[in-house]
Structure 1
Amino acid sequence: MNKRFLRLKQFCVFGLDLISLNVLIMLQQFGMLWFETFSNSQEYTRLNLWLNTSWLVVLIAGNLYSEKYISSFELFFRRTIHTYFFWLVLVLVYLFFAHQFKLSLSFVAFLLCSQGAMLLVNRCIYLVVRSYLCHYQYFTRRVLILGYNDTAKKLVSYLEEENERIQILGFCEEAEHIQELTHYPILGPLEKAMELSEQMKVDEIFSTIAPEHDLGIYQLMQQANQCCIRFKVIPDLSLFMNHSFHIDYLNDMPVLCLRREPLDEAGNRILKRLFDIVVSLFVVIFILPWLVPVVGLLIWIESPGPIFFKQKRTGRNNKQFQCLKFRSMKINNDADMKQATQNDERLTKVGSFLRRTSLDEFPQFLNVLIGNMSVVGPRPHMLKHTNDYSKLIQEYMVRQFVKPGMTGWAQVNGYRGEIKTLQHMKRRVNYDLWYAENWSMWLDIKIVFFTMVVMIKSDQNAC
């Protein structure tokens, strides 16, 4: 994406949203002063400070102005609505816990509703201004491509899909290498690339020819730097990899990584662990002391025996641990070999209810507190499943890079309970891999919220 255009859009929309909020605050206060109803200025000052602070918090947490969202008006509009509602929740929480009962109800209601309306107006302004600015040459990238091959064709298709204005001028390639009609003109041989770039005012040159294959590319790189033209090399690694990868560096040495792993960073792991400890401690102290006796008694009355069920499961780095649950089945010898299914004869009536409401998983907060599990992560599978599916699904074991969770991205997207087909498990694994590669604290909170919604609805997929 054109970074100049992106930064300009981010700055303008951020400023527009923040200014509109504070203009609404000032107008409302001016109106109250006019009618001599404005009082308790300290309370209003604290409220105004919280309105701005909480707005900045939800912006950062929701990453509202990121390239992913701001490049698509539909995604940006949806994300704005989500961010606005989270902001509303923070404001209402402040009003409740800070006991701000002296504030004018009409002032607060009008302000919150007006900000919602202004955000919609701002998005419409953004759409009009973005369309207008796109026509300016300053924001257009003029691109020249070196080489005409499969990589060059794929590059063209990707550049054409970009939302921002890109002008592909053509290719530089030797005439004898062209065996077909091209969508863009062949401008000349490689040795004339810089001459053509200066004539056509090129902003960026993409080379699909590796310098190792043509030493003249090194000279073109140096000439491009001298002419203030950005030079980028597209390596063709299709023989070795058929999916995206990431580049890290050891000093000046590039290292290709098959995937991005946010939880590979110590700071992120510490943040996630703190979240796990806070949540699990709350449950262990305030919920389990009364939940265990009540549920345990119901389990024992229907099916005498232990109230807890322990099973070995595979965790992070494929290490085994004892996973705790409320016992939901009659005591049987197939628990470690046969998964629960819909209308399973082994299920007790109490157990069926516990599974539908996910209450059977609550003892796992002890696993979270100990450190075997996390609140959010790929669900831990029994040893047989891990052994079987790791042989059938190529990237199955990659999910083991992350600590298993009580709930996960796959579960809130409907992949919970009985595994009926291999394709079903593949989709579940894909969701787990997406979570591992896109982890954020905000994503964990979002998954916990969706899980609570599923618990209240009583998930029919559970068994």
Structure 2
Amino acid sequence: MKKSLFIIPISLIVHISIINVLLYIYTPETYLNIYSIIYYNIAWLLTTYGLNFYPTARRDGFLTNIKNFITLFTIYGLAYFSSFIFFGAHYYKTTYLILVYIQICTLLTIFRVIFYWGRNLYRKRRNKNTKVVVIGKDNNLQKLKRIFDNPEYGYSYVGYFDNSKTNNQNCLGDIKSSFHYIFENNIEEVYCMASKLTKVEIQDLIKIADNSLKRIKIIPDHKELFSNTMSIELYGAVPILNLRTSPLDLNYSNLIKRIFDIAFSSVAILFILSWLTPIVYILMKIDSKGPLFFKQKRHGVNRQIFWCYKFRSMTKSETSDTQMASKNDVRVTRLGKILRKTSIDELPQFFNVLMGNMSVVGPRPHMVVHTQEYESSIDKYLVRHFIKPGITGLAQIQGCRGEIIEKADIINRVRYDIFYMEKWSLGLDAKIIFMTVYNAFKGEARAY
């Protein structure tokens, strides 16, 4: 499901602006206190974060979130009135402060109404809605179709697949032919009626989806397919099983991770690469011929190709884009051995992070040729491409780095990458970064 990167930042900026402008106009004496400014803004950020206020599902509307909105106004109201105890309220009467807060709530509500109205209008008028098909036909199909046909939700319902003989124009064929059609027509989401499929058929569909970078959701039946990687969503009155859910599916989480990436990479570039790059350049010119940076095409999120940058650690060769570095590799230069052993060669990837191709933490991006090899030979390999690749990752701090010698090496990496995707948190990212730095100083056997 496509998500806008701008909805949450714009909403947050508008809300913060409304609060600050009104408080500046109506309570200038209190507001001009620097601690008051910090307090009002931090209180809003913490309250909205705690209530998970900003992420809006495709089917959410103003009325579906009204309870959350009232809770937000109540909690932030307590923080608002408490501020006058902390910073003094002798300038204003209580009734005046209440009227100011009512005006704040009113303008925030008006903006929220306008936001949902604008979002729905945009979905109605745009041409690129999310293309969906349904596999299997039961009593839930018509209920689900009413959801898909609502232009406010931004779906484009194509049809369904079913093994029963039917002349319905929406029937696209039997279940066996479904995935060929899905690939040929660039279908983005697939919904499966578990009641019309056998357990083996559903498991096969899950396996195909995991290995083809397609999102699949299941309308559940009693076939004991529930796991801790699934979540349930309600489309009207129809329960939907969402496979491969991740905390990073939330816009709010993606925004937090992106802010962290920008801040962390900026610090690394300004305070490390700014002085380290000239030193590496001089040493490299003394050690070997060739450019300072090495760039290579890698597969990123949703299997998109990007240029990945590193400090050059090898001599130029025809096998640089097909062969991983091995132990005692003759291509590695004297300086390159030090760069690779300390992982300094990876530092230019902070520019990739700043550009948005990568994240500080995530699955390591592989060469294009290796992705093409592993996607057909390693089960669930492509699942790791649902999120941005990283400079470091959970697999790397667990020792799964360097040359892939046995099949188990890549299988274990995939398992760690999927675990990271499903269990992401800022705390986990911080732990991975700490362990990466620790391992770089300690030295790793597979860092060559």
For the pair shown, which has the larger CA radius of gyration, 1 or 2?
1
TM-score normalised by L of structure 1 = 0.48
